[in-house]
């Protein structure tokens, strides 16, 4: 087992490299690095990794499974962190997410918005919810997709359902780039997302967040206006996951 200080140095070094990438992408796009927030995706990693992330000064962490979110929030209750839920969500897990997440990036149907909102209200919480769109909606279900998200044509319906519910605050839009084998490039997908985000903001000025970009495509995402990057491997490395 490696000692904590080495692991810590690893994550700090990864963060330094990540900030360089984000900084360079922002410079190319004429954007301020302050306009881009890094969310550390800690799925499959132990709570000790969440603590290491918190120790680097990052304040946002994300999970993609409801039970794992609940467990780690409990284990890290003493850390001052904003918790993001980024995974596909079934309504029967909405209560768990409403209790433990601050942001939910993956609201992709009106019914989920309604259930999540009711669960949030029951716990006197308000969640920031993003409408997730599928940027390759014609992909058949299966290995290449879909990766969650509503059809772009349904975006306003989903956003409207979020906006009208007490307990939810419409924060913006989220997408995962299509699988590389789909033939849709990350750049063209995020260009499409940028257009959808502009449309959303025209109707809902408060919906300013654009959650897009992961370890492999953050440059394209920054270039096309991402405000929130969801970063797993570039930060935590591809060490053996201990969970799942």
Q: Using CB under 6 A as the criterion, which residues of the chain lie in contact with ligand PLP when the complex forms? A: 41, 43, 64, 86-87, 176, 214-216, 230-234
Peptide bond into 180 cis (omega under 30): no
Nearer to ligand PLP, 104 or 214 (CB): 214
Distance from chain centroid for Cα 242: 21
Rounded least distance, CB 164 to ligand PLP, Å: 26
Nearer to ligand PLP, 121 or 185 (CB): 185
Torsion 80-133-127-90 (CA) sign: negative
Rounded least distance, CB 57 to ligand PLP, Å: 19
Segments of the chain assigned E as strands? 37-41, 60-63, 82-85, 103-107, 127-132, 168-174, 209-211, 228-231
Count other C-beta atoms under 10 Å from residue 118's C-beta: 16
Rounded least distance, CB 176 to ligand PLP, Å: 5
Rounded least distance, CB 71 to ligand PLP, Å: 17
Nearer to ligand PLP, 45 or 119 (CB): 45
74 to 32, 34, 57, 66, 99: CA distances (angstroms): 35, 30, 20, 12, 11
Rounded least distance, CB 18 to ligand PLP, Å: 10
| 177-181-183-188 Cα dihedral, nearest 10 degrees | 20
Nearer to ligand PLP, 12 or 88 (CB): 88
| 209-183-42-126 Cα dihedral, nearest 10 degrees | 30
The answer to whether the beta carbons of residues 127 and 109 sit under 8 Å apart is no
Rounded least distance, CB 78 to ligand PLP, Å: 25
Nearer to ligand PLP, 78 or 240 (CB): 240
Nearer to ligand PLP, 89 or 214 (CB): 214
Rounded least distance, CB 104 to ligand PLP, Å: 12
Burial of residue 131, with CB atoms counted within 10 A of its CB: 0-12 exposed, 13-18 middle, 19 or more buried: buried
| Residues whose CB is less than 8 angstroms from the CB of residue 58 and which lie 6 or more positions away in sequence, other chains included | 15, 38, 40
Nearer to ligand PLP, 152 or 160 (CB): 152
Instruction: Please tell me the distance from the alpha carbon of residue 37 to that of residue 26, in angstroms, as a whole number.
Output: 12
């Amino acid at each position: 087992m490696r000692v904590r200080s080495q692991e810590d140095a690893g994550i700090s070094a990864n963060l330094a490299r990540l900030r360089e990438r984000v900084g360079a992408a922002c410079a190319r796009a004429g954007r301020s690095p302050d306009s881009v927030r890094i969310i550390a995706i800690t799925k499959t990693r132990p709570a000790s990794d969440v603590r290491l992330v918190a120790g680097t000064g990052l304040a946002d962490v994300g999970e993609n499974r409801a039970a794992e979110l609940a467990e780690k929030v409990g284990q890290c209750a003493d850390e001052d962190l904003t918790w993001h839920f980024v995974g596909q969500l079934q309504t029967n897990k909405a209560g768990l997410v409403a209790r433990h997440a601050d942001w939910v990036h993956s609201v992709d149907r009106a019914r989920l918005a309604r259930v999540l909102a009711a669960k949030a209200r029951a716990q006197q919480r308000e969640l920031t919810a993003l409408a997730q769109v599928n940027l390759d909606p014609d992909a058949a279900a299966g290995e290449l997709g879909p990766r969650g998200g509503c059809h772009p044509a349904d975006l306003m319906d989903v956003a409207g359902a979020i906006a009208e519910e007490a307990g939810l605050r419409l924060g913006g839009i989220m997408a995962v780039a299509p699988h590389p084998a789909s033939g849709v490039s990350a750049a063209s997908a995020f260009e499409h997302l940028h257009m959808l985000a502009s449309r959303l903001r025209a109707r809902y000025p408060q919906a300013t967040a654009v959650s897009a970009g992961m370890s492999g495509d953050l440059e394209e995402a920054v270039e096309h206006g991402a405000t929130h990057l969801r970063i797993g491997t570039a930060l935590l490395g591809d060490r053996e996951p201990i969970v799942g």
